[in-house]
Amino acid sequence: MVYDVTMLRAFYAAYKGKMERVRAVLQHPLTLAEKILYTHLFDGKEVKNYTRGEDYVSFRPDRVAMQDATAQMALLQFMNAGREQVAVPSTVHCDHLIQAYRGAREDIATATKTNEEVYDFLRDVSSRYGIGFWQPGAGIIHQVVLENYAFPGGMMVGTDSHTPNAGGLGMVAIGVGGADAVDVMTGMEWELKMPRLIGVHLKGELNGWAAPKDVILKLAGILTVKGGTNAIIEYFGPGTASLSATGKATICNMGAEVGATTSIFPYDNRIATYLKATGREEVAEMADSVAGDLRADTDILLAPENYYDRVIEIDLSRLEPYINGPFTPDAATPISEFAEKVLANGYPRKMEVGLIGSCTNSSYQDLSRAVSLARQVEKKHLKVAAPLIVNPGSERIRATAERDGMIETFEKVGATIMANACGPCIGQWKRETDNPTRKNSIVTSFNRNFAKRADGNPNTYAFVASPELTMALTIAGDLCFNPLTDALVNREGEKVKLSEPVGEELPPEGFAEGSEGYIPPRSEKTEITVNPHSQRLQLLQPFPAWEGTDLLNMPLLIKTQGKCTTDHISMAGPWLRFRGHLENISDNMLMGAVNAFNGETNSVWNRSTNTYGPVSGTAKMYKSEGISSIVVAEENYGEGSSREHAAMEPRFLNVRVILAKSFARIHETNLKKQGMLALTFVDKADYDKIQEHDLISVIGLTEFAPGRNFKVVLHHEDGTKESFEAQHTYNELQISWFRAGSALNAR
């Protein structure tokens, strides 16, 4: 048993009493999200009706999970916090740094060697501070959390944007930056703006080719990548009980793709069954004892529009399989319309690689449904047209799939089984192609498909679908194939159709053992050493405090155009190796962002040299000359992942202000935590006033206060000036972070 049962007994013993106190004060029916949020207030005496979307509230989460790429910076910050032990159960998961190339065995051996210094650091810091440590190959953070740690009614934070995966077991699980994780690990209050609530009413039951993934693919089309910002998506209605716990987790996982703070399902028998199947009978029993408060109150289900800020209805019985993409996960198209879209837009029709697995879709149910299609290849004398890659979510899943013959079936159709790690999902894919300049299409059962995300190639058109649809398209090798209606031609020249996928929700013989690679928390007095010449790790120096004046005449570093995700700001792939070394990783700053003035990436005007150069190099030169700079951006700046490097890199390189049309939630918080100014245009049309050679001043910092706007003055090259207002969402505490130089400095 790897979870902390004593903590859980105390949690469920106290849950009912906490709920009674919350009800006594709030005096209205409660949604599930509200129940969990209000029972996790940092100070239980602070119960009052907080205004959603406005009030900042302090919480006390139960756990922290960190993946290896973000844990480095989180733990480097924790080491500066002066604590002896983590205040809540915490874990580190080595999943992001393993490159997918030859297959699990070889790739883990390579990763263990190339990342030795980082793994040793993470293991030693974990041992030193009482953190559980999952070694490379043990599994992907969210799958391991689901199998071992997530519990109904709980609250956790994780340094990964897909932390909401645990919502599948009825937990409020939120993706955060490392500095937020440090707050929780040090036992300090953790602050969040009280989220709005989006209720998704699920009716009916899935059937045929439709999978849980299609629920969120459809919802992404409705909400778009921004539609869930500062909101919790709460699922309710009879359809919820028809979905397996792992299916619910898939849906919650991808809530990150619509910017949701988190997503959550009510506790039910399917969740209880999963808890029992993963060795947590006692957790299921304890959850049963408070089950009435692990779902929304009945009054809410009768009139949901009175309680949720928005209600969306999805009829599972009529849901079609979806394919989303390319380049953005909200480009949702039902399979019946997809071929037409492919042809109309000239997407490369040939399907070149299928990828199944990741934290999103590697449950037993997912794999068994995909395998049911793979089995038809031999039976129906078909050929598999495209290569297939499978990356299981955990060693437990992989070992079970191997025992039950699923791995063998995948291998028979030519699959490469990669390590139980992120791999291609985070750009850690050493893909071999004949010509990288050729446009090509891939289909994955992952969650994210921004340009270059999987293989670093801007010419790859990545589409996201369920594992079963990914498998079917891999067999066909054709994006225009619709397995619901179309036939394939087999080796004998006959037309054959694929039968609908079928699969088991849970392994009939139970899960095979799978906690190999786990080192439980201890608190050894291990000495942590970081080689000062290391290229991978660097101890952090505090950022300087605010100088006490307005920020005047800052050169514009870059005015970005269009999407600017955390992948554009701080690329993953090969750069992952520098996630523990702020100076080195800063060399990738904003290299994927498009310069609005020349349409190019990583090419900005440098006023010191009057030439064009890389964004990072230009900022570095300004920094060496003692000059601060400013970045201007469009909508939803920083969408995507929780990586705080996207905020720390500009801070390190003396960028002081990000002025955007809007921000993604996690990134905006990360900027605030690192002492940056995150401002938005009051009038978005002012974005157009900014010229390439402008010097920009931000006036009003000495009167920095919640709700008070700043004045932005543009000093154009021709000597003229323009000014407009910019707004912010800083509260008093966050303003103190800015003044101190960072949240860490302000402790």
Q: How far is the CB of 441 from ligand F3S (least distance, A)?
A: 20
Binding mask 125-154 for ligand F3S (x = CB under 6 A): ---------------xxx------------
Residue 359 binds to ligand F3S (criterion: CB under 6 A): yes
Q: Can you tell me the distance from the alpha carbon of 326 to that of 324, in angstroms, rounded to the nearest whole number?
A: 7
Our CB check for ligand F3S shows the closer of 96 and 193 to be 96
Instruction: Using DSSP, state whether 67 is helix, strand or coil.
Output: strand
Q: How far is the CB of 161 from ligand F3S (least distance, A)?
A: 7
Our CB check for ligand F3S shows the closer of 95 and 214 to be 95
Task: Provide the residue type at 1 as one letter.
Answer: M
Q: Can you tell me the distance from the alpha carbon of 313 to that of 238, in angstroms, rounded to the nearest whole number?
A: 12
C-alpha separations of 151 from 246, 255, 264, 355, 670 in Å: 13, 19, 12, 29, 27
β-pair partners for 657: 630, 677
Going through 532-664 in order, the beta strands assigned E by DSSP cover: 551-559, 604-606, 611-613, 629-633, 655-660
Q: Can you tell me the distance from the alpha carbon of 94 to that of 321, in angstroms, rounded to the nearest whole number?
A: 33
Q: Can you tell me the distance from the alpha carbon of 683 to that of 727, in angstroms, rounded to the nearest whole number?
A: 10
Cβ-based neighbours of 699, under 8 Å, separated by 6 or more? 550, 710, 711, 712, 713
Q: How far is the CB of 583 from ligand F3S (least distance, A)?
A: 24
Q: How far is the CB of 642 from ligand F3S (least distance, A)?
A: 10
Among 62, 160, 214, 635, binds ligand F3S (CB under 6 A): 160
Q: Which two three-digit tokens encode residue 496?
A: 């054959």
Q: Which two three-digit tokens encode residue 166?
A: 């645990």
Among 37, 108, 426, 630, binds ligand F3S (CB under 6 A): 426
Q: Can you tell me the distance from the alpha carbon of 316 to that of 213, in angstroms, rounded to the nearest whole number?
A: 11
Residue 560 binds to ligand F3S (criterion: CB under 6 A): no
CA dihedral 590→593→599→605, nearest 10 degrees, is: -20
Residues near ligand F3S (CB under 6 A), total: 13
In 3D space, the residue among 439, 415, 419 whose CA is nearest the CA of residue 429 turns out to be: 419
Instruction: Using DSSP, state whether 338 is helix, strand or coil.
Output: helix
Q: How far is the CB of 448 from ligand F3S (least distance, A)?
A: 6
Q: Which residues are catalytically annotated?
A: 95-96, 160, 448, 641, 643
Among 401, 422, 585, 695, binds ligand F3S (CB under 6 A): 422
Our CB check for ligand F3S shows the closer of 426 and 615 to be 426
Backbone dihedral angles phi then psi of residue 19, each to the nearest 5 degrees: -60, -40
Q: How far is the CB of 232 from ligand F3S (least distance, A)?
A: 20
Total residue length of the chain: 747
Among 126, 244, 246, 447, binds ligand F3S (CB under 6 A): 447
In 3D space, the residue among 593, 586, 595 whose CA is nearest the CA of residue 565 turns out to be: 593
Q: How far is the CB of 391 from ligand F3S (least distance, A)?
A: 8
β-pair partners for 357: 391
First to last CA, the chain: 36
Among 77, 324, 358, 618, binds ligand F3S (CB under 6 A): 358
DSSP 8-state class, residue 741: T
Q: How far is the CB of 327 from ligand F3S (least distance, A)?
A: 16
Among 182, 286, 425, 619, binds ligand F3S (CB under 6 A): 425
Our CB check for ligand F3S shows the closer of 95 and 694 to be 95
Cβ-based neighbours of 704, under 8 Å, separated by 6 or more? 730, 735, 738, 739
Q: How far is the CB of 141 from ligand F3S (least distance, A)?
A: 6
CA angle 441, 433, 416 (to 5 degrees): 80
Residue 571 binds to ligand F3S (criterion: CB under 6 A): no
Binding mask 526-545 for ligand F3S (x = CB under 6 A): --------------------
By the criterion CB under 6 A, which residues form the site for ligand F3S? 95-96, 140-142, 160, 162, 358-359, 422, 425-426, 447
